[in-house]
Amino acid sequence: MAVSFPADISNALLYGLVFACGYLLGSIPFGLILTKLAGRGDIRAIGSGNIGATNVLRSGSKALAALTLVLDALKGTAAVLIGAHWGPETAMLGALGAFLGHLFPVWLGFRGGKGVATYIGVLLGLYWPAALAFCGAWLLMALVTRYSSLAALGASAVPPIILAASGDWEMATLALFFTALLVIRHASNIGRFLRGEEGRIGESKL
């Protein structure tokens, strides 16, 4: 005999599973895995100690950095697309899980990346024009300032505005939350920038 649950319980189970799936996808530390497989040691022991693409680049491999960037983005997109199977609410829940999973992976003591690539990835799944706007703003600011962190911080302010302009206030609020977390995760970069110690793109200074 099949077991049936009340609608509210069934929805709670579905939301929990979507969030958990998103979190697990987001928590995959591709930068750490790829650099170890390539024989470059533990990425957390070099540069800023971060597991993201920027620090992978400091390992000396542009290819590994590019692959890390793509995979960190796609895990966010995948989480959104899985959630979207049941509707826009679960799509956003998958996005939330993936972003938090990347920032706070249980496997690494909740010390993960800074969220730039995964932010782009979830935007790609939720509303691709916002992802393009993020990338365009990042590229422009990176070319002008030569600071990757500053470009990421500036570009992260664009998606909430784009989404609000589209009329989707729920998604805009979620994006604003992501932006706030991204800024918090870049606190050390902000401190170095204010002290004049932040390294520019292409420099070895960390």
| Mean pLDDT of the 46-50 span | 79
Q: How many CB atoms lie within 10 A of CB 145?
A: 15
pLDDT at 196: 84
| Each residue's pLDDT tens digit, 28-42 | 999 999 999 988 888
Across the range 137-156, mean pLDDT stands at: 94
Give me the mean pLDDT over the 86-109 stretch: 96
Residue 135, helix vs strand vs coil:
helix
Please state the rounded mean pLDDT for residues 113-127. 97
Task: Kindly state the average pLDDT of the residues 78-90.
Answer: 96
Dist. CA 169–CA 34, nearest whole Å: 37
The contacts found for 110-114 with CB under 8 angstroms, 24 or more apart, are 112/27, 112/29, 112/51, 113/29, 113/31, 113/50, 113/51, 113/52, 113/72, 113/185, 114/50, 114/52, 114/152, 114/182, 114/185, 114/186
**Which pLDDT does position 4 carry in this prediction?**
45
Q: What is the pLDDT of residue 92?
A: 97
